[in-house]
Amino acid sequence: MPDKYVFFFGEGEADGRADMKNLLGGKGANLAEMTNLGLPVPAGFTISTDVCTYYYQHQDTYPDGLKQSVQEALEKVEKVMGSKFGDAENPLLVSVRSGARASMPGMMDTVLNLGLNDQTVQGLINKTNNPRFSYDCYRRFVNMYGDVVMGLRPESKDDTDPFEEILEKKKEKHGIKYDTDLTTDDLKELVAEYKEAIQKHAGKPFPEDPMEQLWGAIGAVFGSWMNERAKVYRKLNNIPEEWGTAVNVQSMVYGNMGDDSGTGVAFTRDPATGAKELYGEFLMNAQGEDVVAGIRTPLQIEKLNEIMPNVYKQFEEISGTLEKHYHEMQDMEFTIQQGRLWMLQTRAGKRTGFAAFRIAVNMVEEGLISKEEALLRVQPDQLNQLLRPIFDLDQKRSAIDENRLLAKGLNAGPGAANGKVVFNAPDAVEWKAKGEKVILVRIETSPEDIKGMDASEGILTARGGMTSHAALVARQMGKVCVAGAGDLQISYKKREFNVNGNTVKEGDWISIDGTTGEIIKGHLDTKPSEVLQVVIDKSLNPEESQTYHTYQQIMKWADECRRLKVRTNADQPDQAETAIAFGAQGIGLCRTEHMFFGGERIDAVREMIVSDESEGRRKALAKLLPMQKEDFIGIFKAMGNRPVTIRTLDPPLHEFLPHSDEDLEKLAKKLDVSLEKLKTRVEALHEFNPMLGHRGCRLGIAYPEITEMQAQAILEAACEVKKDGVDVKPEIMIPLVAHVNELRRQEKLVRDVAKKVFKKYEIEVDYLVGTMIEIPRAAVTADEIASVAEFFSFGTNDLTQTTFGMSRDDSGSFLPYYVDQDILPRDPFQSIDQGGVGKLMEWGVERGRKERSGLKVGICGEHGGDPSSVEFCHSIGLDYVSCSPFRVPIARLAAAQAALKELQKES
Ligand code: PEP
Ligand code: MG
């Protein structure tokens, strides 16, 4: 075991440093760093995450020697602060807070004002000459201690909070609205009543001994690492349970000591837009939780310049120092105690996707960080926010003209969302499961609500500022959020809210604009983001869009760094065009069956399927040929000289057939066959397990004329487009191959057709014949397969399905449970199962390239757009990933990050 568990900081010297986050948690490491930088930090100490690990491994006990170390550190703090813990004359009071390696805002517990009891409160009165303030601290402390340590905090949304009830009664009795109107006597009475409530609910008294209080709070903070909301948060944010939390014990400073005191939170840049300006909120005469809880609406940070210009100036300087020191946007907490500024926390600030990208780009332009650092700072998935929809402006304008603008709140999480109103998190989860789009409307949110927030399209709250829980969490989740819309009168009981004479009930549609803070009655259509308006619609001038500037800068740098190519999965020319606008370098998968549904094609397809002999099929296929050829011409033209991988028919045939009696009758008429004959044929095509049935190359083997028609359509289209001067690069891909002989047969068919086509057109086109690797046997025998295949493309949807033996269509009934229970770390259909499916891929690449050096290998399963899977594909040496058009930018960035991380590892 390590020999040091407790790390002191105070008066310009600290045992810890910023790079000791794993041991001290983010908060502890940064308090140490700020102390070392000479910034004003109240003295304290951090109990390391090792102790948390020990605590859970040893039935909630502490390592030997910890008590002694805490005692020693406490004495040091006493010395620095010139007061004594538990002293009746001159008491030292402390805060006890959690602090994990990764920030988990509000998920774990905190106790403030610790050390107060009936004796020490007198000492505080003597020191401050302020009995009201002292009793206010005392009643807050008993309340928090009761909630956090003694278990009085209500567990469900229907339970009442005993302290809240007592406080409300007291305010009612005296006819007052704000806590600040309570008198010293009221507060004194509250302390006594709170203690009675503790005795009643917990069955034991509130501990008067400060040492007992301290250890109670330390235990509660360690205990809160395993509370439900912390677990849910960790799961959502991929934070491992083993990390544990540290505990920070720090001298209290007070922002509620009168009108020359205050407290606030601020970011060095705007966390919503990324603009370079100090951004934050504060409250005079208040404690930290007042700002975050959103009970009083805070003031904008610039106002501090009017109230206390010197403090504002000092704070501005400190925030500049911190940003330069960390080379990162900081989120800071501060307290002003009787005119003196104290820094309580600094950490990398959470931000929207918009802000993350803009800050990264601006910091490169300011010379603060390198392009590579900028690329690694942003999360590929956050690009979604730049590509997110906005409301149709005309519709919005007319909605406002029609007086449908209900109110305005804070623009806490940008983007446009519409949905049906629900008033609590469990309902949000339930409605979403039923397929509804919902907007979660709450007076304010709390950590218990995160599942519901996750299930909602957007979040709307009546209370709280830009740093309230709702705002922070929504931004991190990338959710649209309007917070602090104070005009909303929400009644949870009636399941409605009233606002400026309107009533909106549960289930009514509303639309919220998280970029402007507007709340609009009814459903507004959404419109593409600015990036889309520039790159796709071409309706916006690139110079006019900050968002586009940011996007294209990041994409440019990403393209300079990445090795992996990025293609797209597209089967229509317009999809191909969108993907090219997003930077796609080719088509990695064109699913030809998607072309079978358009216009009159389905009739010809059905005619082909129901004919039970080759001749009939050929006749129907001849009708399809010109249509498929037209499709391919469109795609080749859109893609120019980029490679286009086209897959031959894959799904089981009955997917194309009608099933209801009515539809069957219609088809029988159309095809001029008897209903009976048609029904017999449809029944014959029925399969118990179609995913493992007659599909993929098995179709082309049983019905070679299908492959022949498709090859002919592809190659004739290629010849025609090439004649127009385009250097087309078709790649014909055979699906679901398990044995090399399957591929051999299909390849021969394709090559025979090619010869005929080239002769007919008197022109040749370079084309490849390759295969999908989507059956474990294909991966295992990749060398044999590569003796025929000129390229591989991993179909990781099927490869995952067949490797796990888990139906991709039916896994919804058990897979979420598997992930919830940690049986599987992530849904393997979303993110490649690297230990299993990934091993097969590695094997496939290695064996394939051994047989055919330089074999081109890509991926076209859904994983091709998942950032961690992209990183994996880079690591096993794939040539490209292919994903849906909107994920192309995400994959480009993920590919750059993979390359940069590899470089970092090497150096
Ligand atoms: C795959 O299986 O990964 C694939 C891309 O093919 P499909 O999803 O069409 O089966
Ligand atoms: Mg497949």
589 CA closest ligand 1 atom index: 5
Tell me what the mean pLDDT of segment 408-434 comes to: 91
- Ligand 1: nearest atom to the Cα of 798: 2
Pick the closest to residue 557 from 360, 271, 301 (CA basis).
360
Selection from 197, 205, 114, 207 nearest residue 154 by Cα: 197
* Predicted pLDDT of residue 660: 78
pLDDT, tens only, 506-565: 999 999 998 889 999 999 998 778 998 999 889 999 999 989 999 999 999 999 999 999
**Where does 323-400 show beta strands of DSSP type E?**
330-337, 340-348, 390-391
* Stated pTM of the model: 0.78
Give the pLDDT score at 155. Answer: 77
pLDDT for the residue numbered 830: 85
| Cα-to-chain-centroid distance, residue 540 | 28
Options 52, 137, 469, 697, the catalytic residue: 469
State how far the Cα of 264 lies from the Cα of 286, in Å rounded to an integer: 9
Question: Higher-confidence residue: 819 or 359?
Answer: 359
Residue 735 CA to ligand 2 centre (angstroms): 7
CA distances from 879 to 563, 564, 642, 874, 895 (A): 8, 6, 14, 8, 11
Query: Contact 209/217 with Cβ under 8 angstroms?
Result: no
Long-range contacts of 302-309 (CB under 8 A, 24+ apart): 302/278, 304/262, 304/264, 307/262, 308/260, 308/262, 308/336, 308/339
Is residue 811 within 8 Å of residue 819, measured between CB atoms?
A: no
Distance CA 834, CA 832 (A): 5
SS3 854: coil
CA nearest ligand 1 atom 3, residue: 795
Per-residue pLDDT band for 407 (boundaries 50, 70, 90) equals: very high
Three-state helix/strand/coil letters over 394-450: HHHHHHHHCCCEEEECEEEECCEEEEEEECCHHHHHHHHHCCCCEEEEECCCCHHHH
Helices (H) and strands (E) in the chain, counts: 36, 34
pLDDT in tens, 599-625: 678 888 888 988 878 898 999 999 999
Q: Which residues line ligand 1 (CB under 6 A)?
A: 589, 591, 650, 774, 795-798, 860-861
pLDDT of residue 293: 60
- What's the pLDDT score for residue 397? 85
Clarify whether 860 is annotated catalytic.
yes
Q: How close is the Cα of 632 to the center of ligand 2, in Å?
A: 21
- Per-residue confidence (pLDDT) for residue 478, from 0 to 100: 64
Ligand nearest to the CA of 794: 1
pLDDT at 475 over 70: no
- What is the best residue among 589, 655, 859, 878 to mutate for testing ligand 1's pocket, by most ligand atoms within 8 Å of CB? 589
Are the beta carbons of 143 and 483 closer than 8 angstroms? no
Ligand 1: which of 655, 772, 804 to mutate, most ligand atoms within 8 Å of CB?
772
Mutate to test the pocket of ligand 1, among 698, 797, 859 (most ligand atoms within 8 A of CB): 797
Give the position, in ligand 1's atom list, of the atom nearest the Cα of 801: 2
Query: What is the mean pLDDT of the segment spanning 205-230?
Result: 94
Q: What are the tokens at 34?
A: 């700020």
Alpha helices in 203-327 (DSSP H): 210-224, 228-236, 288-293, 302-307, 309-326
Question: Residue whose CA is closest, atom 4 of ligand 1?
Answer: 795
Q: How far is CA 179 from CA 146, 152, 368, 544, in A?
A: 19, 21, 45, 48
Q: Alpha-carbon torsion 537, 481, 107, 5, what sign?
A: positive
pLDDT (tens digit per residue) in 277-336: 999 999 998 877 676 665 677 899 999 999 999 999 999 999 999 999 999 999 999 999
Strands 587-591 and 643-647: parallel
Q: What is the atom index within ligand 1 of the atom nearest the CA of 774?
A: 2
Give the three-state DSSP class for 367.
coil
**Radius of gyration for the chain, computed over Cα atoms and rounded to the nearest angstrom:** 32
Q: Please tell me the number of the ligand nearest to residue 697's CA.
A: 2
Quote the ligand 1 centre to 37 CA distance (angstroms): 55
Helix (H) or strand (E) holding 282: strand 279-284
- Tokens 């001749």 correspond to 615
- 297-332 b/e (C-beta count within 10 Å ≥ 16 → b): ebbebeebeeebeebbebbbebbeebbeebebbbbb
Q: Which two tokens stand for residue 378?
A: 């942003």
Rounded to whole angstroms, the Cα distance separating 556 from 43 reads 46
Burial class (CB in 10 A: 0-12, 13-18, 19+), 772: buried
- Amino acid identity of residue 200, one-letter, is K
Tell me the one-letter amino acid at 324.
K
Give the closest residue (by CA) to ligand 1 atom 8. 797
Instruction: Give CA–CA dist 567/793, Å, rounded.
Output: 12
Distance CA 878, CA 858 (A): 6
Is the CB of residue 894 less than 8 Å from the CB of residue 559? no
Beta-carbon-side half-sphere exposure of residue 288 (alpha carbons within 13 Å): 20
pLDDT of 801 over the 90 cut? yes
Q: How many residues does the chain have?
A: 907
In this structure, of 91-100, 520-529, 871-880, the range with the lowest mean pLDDT score is 520-529
CA dihedral sign, ordered 160, 164, 166, 170: negative
Nearest CA to ligand 1 atom 10: 798
Q: Which residue's CA is the closest to the ligand 1 atom numbered 9?
A: 591
Judging by DSSP bridges, how do beta strands 410-413 and 480-483 pair with one another? antiparallel
| Spatial separation of the C-alpha atoms in residues 384 and 150, rounded to whole Å | 43
Range with the poorest average pLDDT among 391-395, 784-788, 825-829 = 391-395
716 compared with 463, residue with greater pLDDT:
716
- Helix, coil or strand: residue 459: strand
Which residue has a Cα nearest atom 6 of ligand 1?
795
Q: Tell which phi-psi region holds residue 339, choosing left (phi > 0), alpha (psi between -120 and 50) or beta.
A: left
Instruction: Give the separation between CA 541 and CA 538, rounded to whole angstroms.
Output: 7
pLDDT score recorded for residue 466: 62
Residue 217 binned pLDDT confidence (cut-offs 50, 70, 90): very high
Tokens of 562: 């990445």
Q: What is the DSSP string of 99-112?
A: EESS--TTTS-EEE
Provide the phi-psi class of 512: left if phi over 0, else alpha when psi is between -120 and 50, else beta: beta
Q: Is the pLDDT of residue 476 over 60?
A: no
- Residue with tokens 């003597």, as numbered in its chain: 126
Looking up tokens 């599942």 gives: 451
Q: How far away, in angstroms, is 891 Cα from ligand 1 center?
A: 18
Task: Tell me, in angstroms, the distance from the centre of ligand 2 to residue 772's CA.
Answer: 8
Encode 847-881: b = buried (16+ Cβ within 10 Å), e = exposed.
Answer: bbbeebeebbbbbbbbbbbbbbbbbbbbebebbbb
Q: Which helix (H) or strand (E) holds 362?
A: helix 353-365
| Selected residue with higher pLDDT from 649 and 238 | 649
Q: Are 562 and 871 in contact (CB under 8 A)?
A: no
Q: In testing the pocket of ligand 1, which one of 568, 591, 733 has its CB within 8 Å of the most ligand atoms?
A: 591
Instruction: Tell me the three state secondary structure of residue 862.
Output: helix
Beta bridge partners of 94: 114, 251
394-403, 475-484, 664-673, 748-757, range with the lowest pLDDT: 475-484
pLDDT at 102: 87
From CA 102, how far away is CA 63, in angstroms rounded?
24
Can you tell me which atom of ligand 1 is nearest the CA of 797?
3
Query: Which of 774, 799, 837, when mutated, tests ligand 1's pocket best, judged by the most ligand atoms within 8 Å of its CB?
Result: 774
**Cα(544) to centroid of ligand 1, in Å?**
40
Spatial distance between the Cα atoms of 448 and 106, rounded to a whole number of angstroms: 10
Share of the chain above pLDDT 70, in %: 97
pLDDT at 294: 58
| Catalytic residue of the set 697, 860, 873, 883 | 860
Distance (angstroms) between ligand 2 centre and the Cα of 624 equals 23
Question: What's the gap in Å between 793 CA and the centre of ligand 2?
Answer: 10
881 membership: H or E segment, kind and range: strand 880-883
The single-letter code of the amino acid at 466 is: M
Separation CA 886–CA 888 (nearest Å):
6
- The H or E element spanning position 624 is helix 614-639
Amino acid found at 158: D
Whether the pLDDT of residue 93 is over 70: the answer is yes
Taking the CA of residue 795 as reference, the ligand 1 atom at the shortest distance is 3
Residue 183, token pair as written in the block:
């008198």
Ligand 2: centre distance to CA 798 (Å): 5
pLDDT at 447 (0 to 100): 67
DSSP 567: E
* Tokens describing residue 67: 């008590």
Q: To which H or E segment does residue 393 belong?
A: helix 393-401
Query: Is residue 653 within 8 Å of residue 685, measured between CB atoms?
Result: yes
Say how many Å lie between the CA of residue 429 and the centre of ligand 1.
Answer: 30
Atom of ligand 1 nearest to the CA of 793: 5
Residue nearest to atom 1 of ligand 1 (CA): 795
Q: Residue 471 CA to chain centroid, in angstroms?
A: 14
Taking the CA of 590 as reference, the closest ligand is 1
Nearest Cα to Cα of residue 570 among 170, 822, 865, 905: 865
Neighbours of ion ligand 2 (CB under 5 A): 774, 795, 798
CA 483 distance to own-chain centroid: 19
52 is catalytic: no
- Nearest ligand for residue 737 CA: 2
Closest ligand 1 atom number to CA of residue 863:
3
pLDDT at 1 over 70: no
